Amino acid sequence: METESQESILGAGMVRRSFLRYAGIGVASVGLLATAACHKDHSVHPTSGTIDLGATGDVAILNYAYALEQLEAAFYLQVTATPYSGISSSESALLTDIRDHEVLHREFFKAALGASAIQALTPDFSSINFSSRASVLAAAAAFEDTGVTAYDGAGYLITTPAYLLIAGKIVSVEARHAALIRDLITPGSFAGPDVVDTTNSLNKSASIADVLKIANGYLKTKVSAVNYGYTAS
């Protein structure tokens, strides 16, 4: 039972079904990634359980986003499946909304990338106590704030205007999530000094390496970006 619920949460075991489903919207996918070749270089290394984003370029960056969205979606699916003790109805509604956004981001990247998509990742949430509000919200804030710094920090690597626009459409929603979660933890911390520079009021941004180091702490399937200077350890 545990395994089954984990599988449905994580999307593991659904790769084949998803492939069949998305084969049906191949035309739409072509619209976004018309030139995306079938990248074989981000297949799983059987011994390490590590995948790589592959050659530098837009496909790698979209897969980077896809990896982060998979992680966020899996997290909120678990949060809503096993709500923390004392969760209020308004918090439950907000976290359910966020879950739905992250699941859609994940599904969008999967559809857009088509055959170029990395595999479904297996998360490791053993460091999170899902029955504790403090533990869940702290993890949520970490995921959201990291997501914002990731999109802001990788935007310049995107070469296709349409993809850059889509990244922009998503990052502001992640920032809305981040602000809400932070205010649930501490009212008034929506743009706190740990995430927004106090001198110029720019959100912090982060490199692929810095972000993947954090993300891999929550992943059994480690993600590398060798061509962007980061190898998962």
Residues 6+ apart with CB under 8 A from 232: 48, 50, 212, 216, 222, 223, 224
> Which positions from 32 to 71 touch other proteins by CB under 8 A, shown as an x/- string?
x---------------------------------------
Applying CB under 8 A, among 28, 37, 55, 134 the residue interacting with other proteins is 28
Q: Given the complex with other proteins, which of 126 and 201 has the nearer CB atom?
A: 201
Q: Which stretch binds other proteins (CB under 8 A): 42-50, 53-61, 147-155, 213-221?
A: 147-155
CB of 149 to other proteins, least distance (A): 9
Contact set for other proteins, span 87-116 (CB under 8 A)? 94, 97, 99-101, 103-105, 107-108, 111-112
CB of 63 to other proteins, least distance (A): 15
